[in-house]
Amino acid sequence: MEPVVGAWQRLGTSWSWEPSVLGGLLTLAAAYAYGARASWRQSPARAPRWRALAFLGGLLALFLALVSPLDVLADRYLFSAHMVQHLLLLLVAPPLLLLGLPLPLARALVRHPLLGAIERWLGQPVVALGLYSGVMLVWHVPAFYEAALVHERLHAAEHLTLLGTALLFWWPVVQPTVATAVLGHLSAMLYLFVASTPGTLLGAVFTFASAPIYPTYAAVDDPLGLQPLTRGAWGLTPLVDQQLGGLLMWVPGGLVYLLAIGLIFQRLFKDGDEPELVPTSERSR
């Protein structure tokens, strides 16, 4: 019992206070506060407070993924923890951050020369979907995955590309009144269904693999002394851990897409035969 208690204590103190990550989160929060305040002053009736709560939820998801002990578990010990981290970066933080943008602020962002160009070129649904799926698949190739665990800069690039392509992917779904390319209801549901396929396939591969795929999680190296907890108390052998990670990618990940599809399906009945998510006149305001 004593080794397990000690492992819990060490895990509880293993927060990753990386200055670049903290600086990025604080900068994002400050920029949002400044832009949202201006938006609320201009159009208070069209800036509900729940948007601020959604954005705060997105920041919290990033904080949990990149600063909390989850980051240490993901980098050194548990493939399943890494999958939770990826779910936060791909499926939780991006839609919440985008949902939190008041419409005047979202429109101001796409009027920015650089951000607007990125949105027009890379925010096209086919392009965004291809980048989103491709980046996710590439980073799960064992050679690239292991390299990112070893090299800090490559690891940072992994997180940035996952988050960046996820923001592009969710943009036309979460902010349809601002997106350059508007998806109709049926197109949006198909878009989300196709996007769910790579994660489902990867989850199945990890769940049914007969041996660990990534050597890092099969190693006996234990720099922080957490294996009495991870492999002992939790019973997460390398193969069980991998199977759990696959199930997390497969089931909860799939449920996020299903929830988004369900919300669009509900809007389809609410809007009747309207082919777009919102009227064109609304987008031009």
Domain ranges of the chain: 2-283
Dihedrals φ, ψ of 105, to 5°?
-70, -40
Backbone dihedral region of 184: left (phi > 0), alpha (psi from -120 to 50 degrees) or beta?
A: beta
Task: Report pLDDT for 42.
Answer: 66
Where does the pLDDT of residue 25 fall: very low under 50, low under 70, confident under 90, or very high at 90 and above?
very high
Average pLDDT over residues 132-158: 96
- 3-class secondary structure, 14: coil
Q: Does the pTM of the predicted model rise above 0.85?
A: yes
pLDDT band at 50 (very low <50, low <70, confident <90, very high): confident
Whether the predicted pLDDT of 278 surpasses 60: no
Q: What is the pLDDT of residue 108?
A: 84
Report the first-to-last Cα separation within the chain, whole angstroms.
63
CA 186, CA 220: separation in Å to the nearest integer?
Answer: 49
261 — pLDDT class (breaks 50, 70, 90) = very high
Residue (of 145, 112, 147, 142) closest to 35 by Cα position = 112
Average pLDDT value over all residues in the chain: 89
- pLDDT band with cut points at 50, 70 and 90 for residue 184: confident
pLDDT of residue 280 exceeding 60, the answer is no
Nearest-CA neighbor of 69 among 218, 228, 230?
Answer: 230
Q: What is the pLDDT of residue 270?
A: 74
Residue 271's pLDDT band, with cuts at 50, 70 and 90, is: low
Return the pLDDT at 68.
Answer: 96
Say which amino acid occupies 137.
L
Mean pLDDT of 119-145: 95
Four-residue CA torsion sign, 64, 68, 72, 77:
negative
- Name, in order, each residue with C-beta under 8 angstroms of 85's C-beta and a sequence gap of 6 or more: 65, 66, 70, 71, 74
Taking 50 as the threshold, does the pLDDT of residue 174 lie above it? yes
pLDDT value of position 46: 59
pLDDT of res. 176: 79
Mean pLDDT across the stretch 23-41?
86
Higher pLDDT, 238 or 43: 238
pLDDT at 279: 36
According to the model, what pLDDT value does residue 248 have?
96
- Condensed to tens digits (0 to 9), the pLDDT of residues 205-238 reads 999 999 999 999 998 788 899 999 999 999 999 9
pLDDT (tens digit, 9 = 90+) per residue, 192-205? 999 999 999 999 99
Q: Which long-range contacts (CB under 8 A, 24 or more apart) does 44-49 make?
A: 46/102, 46/103, 46/104, 47/102, 47/103, 47/104
